[in-house]
């Protein structure tokens, strides 16, 4: 059973044949659009992420509507508050920036899936994802605050909360806080394997969330570790996670693939800011074809096993699929 009886090129001869036998398909159904919301009156461009803006609440609703019209079903919200402090209190007030944005989105787009990033780094003046004690992020003290944040987002109407802090036990703590308040319908999309990655660089400009000292290596994962990602994911599942996320995506396709093989829940992958900015920068220099590279990247993340892809390319990609 070999050449010349077998000629694999037959299945690649025309576009119609290639489409017919394609193993991986992209659909706007699988995309989640990240949106930044701030308290200023107009949009502010993020210089390291061409095409990405921080929006005031009313314009976030317009952005979501446009995405929805292209078939994108979900958005994930990040807030840039007017006020930051050591405990990140702006993250859980009922009239906080994200809580208000959730309400507005749900009013104006009732069938949109609204996911709230549940973390403190955009809300703390030190930029870390938790409460500090003696210069370190205190795990268990942080859990109490994260539970308040998740609860406030769920009360505002979020369909999913997405803890991105990597504290131990956060999924379980959040699950019980939601359930005790009658919010058992609200899901948890856990950033199960979130690596301490330099690919988040441009996001930290967008969210104004760079740590003011040190780094996040004592809570986010070491890029050297793959088995540990499975352990993290198992813990999150046991604690009640509905969706498991891998972040970043491109340098971690092996982790996405391992999650797909190992677990039965939906797998999400975050095509993060640095992955987006590299494509934009190379395309701006005329070095690559932006649309083709974007589609190839998204296809590779799907092929690795992700059901959902969070991507700043979501709107352009959905347009390309139309």
By annotation, the residues acting in catalysis are 194, 247
Q: Name the closest residue to ligand PBG (Cβ).
A: 203
The C-alpha atoms of residue 149 and residue 161 are separated, in whole angstroms, by 9
Residue 76 in the binding site for ligand PBG (CB under 6 A):
no
Maximal CA-CA distance, the chain: 71
Select 200 or 259, whichever has its Cβ closest to ligand PBG.
200
Taking residues 84 to 103 in sequence order and writing x for each that binds ligand PBG by CB under 6 A, - otherwise, the string is: --------------------
With CB under 6 A as the contact rule, the residue among 26, 46, 81, 117 that binds ligand PBG is 117
Smallest gap from residue 91 Cβ to ligand PBG (A): 10
With CB under 6 A as the contact rule, the residue among 89, 164, 277, 311 that binds ligand PBG is 164
β-bridge mates for residue 190, sequence order: 244
Residue with tokens 């996405």: 256
The footprint of ligand PBG on residues 253-272 (CB under 6 A) is 272
Residue 119 in the binding site for ligand PBG (CB under 6 A):
yes
Select 61 or 245, whichever has its Cβ closest to ligand PBG.
245
Sequence-distant (≥ 6) Cβ neighbours of residue 36 within 8 angstroms = 46, 52, 53, 54, 55, 78, 79, 80, 206, 207
Sequence-distant (≥ 6) Cβ neighbours of residue 202 within 8 angstroms = 46, 48, 49, 273, 274, 276, 277
Select 80 or 107, whichever has its Cβ closest to ligand PBG.
80
Taking residues 289 to 318 in sequence order and writing x for each that binds ligand PBG by CB under 6 A, - otherwise, the string is: ------------------------------
User: Residue 268: which of 199, 194, 207, 318 has the closest Cα?
Assistant: 194
Smallest gap from residue 311 Cβ to ligand PBG (A): 9
Select 98 or 156, whichever has its Cβ closest to ligand PBG.
98
Select 203 or 263, whichever has its Cβ closest to ligand PBG.
203
β-bridge mates for residue 162, sequence order: 117
Select 30 or 311, whichever has its Cβ closest to ligand PBG.
311
With CB under 6 A as the contact rule, the residue among 32, 56, 91, 121 that binds ligand PBG is 121
The footprint of ligand PBG on residues 174-213 (CB under 6 A) is 200, 203-204
Instruction: Give the other-Cβ count within 10 Å of 299's Cβ.
Output: 16
Q: How many residues lie near ligand PBG (CB under 6 A)? A: 10
DSSP letter string over 192-241? EEEB--GGGHHHHHHHT---SSS-STTTSBPTT-SHHHHHHHHHHHHHT-
Count of CA atoms in the C-beta half-sphere (13 A) of 27:
6
Interacting residue ranges for ligand PBG, rule: CB under 6 A:
117, 119, 121-122, 164, 200, 203-204, 272-273
């Amino acid at each position: 059973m070999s050449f010349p009886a077998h000629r694999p090129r037959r299945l690649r001869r025309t576009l119609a044949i290639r489409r017919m036998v394609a193993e991986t398909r992209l659909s706007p159904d699988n995309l989640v659009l990240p949106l930044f919301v701030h308290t200023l009156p107009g949009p502010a461009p993020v210089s390291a992420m061409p095409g990405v803006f921080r929006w005031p609440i009313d314009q976030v609703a317009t952005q979501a509507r446009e995405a929805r019209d292209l078939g994108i079903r979900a958005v994930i919200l990040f807030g840039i508050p007017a006020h930051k402090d050591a405990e990140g209190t702006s993250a859980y007030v009922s009239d906080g920036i994200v809580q208000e944005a959730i309400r507005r989105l749900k009013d104006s787009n009732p069938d949109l899936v609204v996911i709230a990033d549940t973390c403190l780094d955009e809300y703390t003046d030190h930029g870390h994802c938790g409460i500090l004690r003696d210069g370190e992020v205190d795990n268990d003290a942080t859990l109490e605050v994260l539970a308040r944040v998740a609860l406030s987002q769920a009360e505002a109407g979020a369909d999913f909360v997405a803890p991105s802090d990597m504290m131990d036990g956060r999924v379980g703590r959040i699950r019980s806080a939601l359930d005790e308040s009658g919010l058992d319908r609200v899901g948890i999309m856990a950033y199960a394997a979130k690596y301490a990655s330099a690919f988040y660089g441009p996001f930290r400009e967008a969210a104004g969330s760079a740590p003011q000292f040190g780094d996040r290596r004592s809570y986010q994962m070491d890029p050297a570790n793959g088995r540990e990602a499975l352990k993290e994911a198992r813990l999150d599942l046991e604690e009640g996670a509905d969706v498991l996320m891998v972040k970043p995506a491109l340098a971690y396709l092996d982790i996405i693939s391992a999650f797909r093989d190992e677990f039965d829940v939906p797998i999400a992958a975050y095509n993060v800011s640095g992955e987006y900015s590299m494509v934009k920068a190379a395309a701006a220099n005329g070095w690559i074809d932006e649309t083709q590279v974007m589609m190839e990247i998204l296809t590779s993340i799907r092929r690795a096993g992700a059901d959902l892809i969070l991507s700043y390319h979501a709107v352009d990609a959905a347009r390309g699929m139309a």
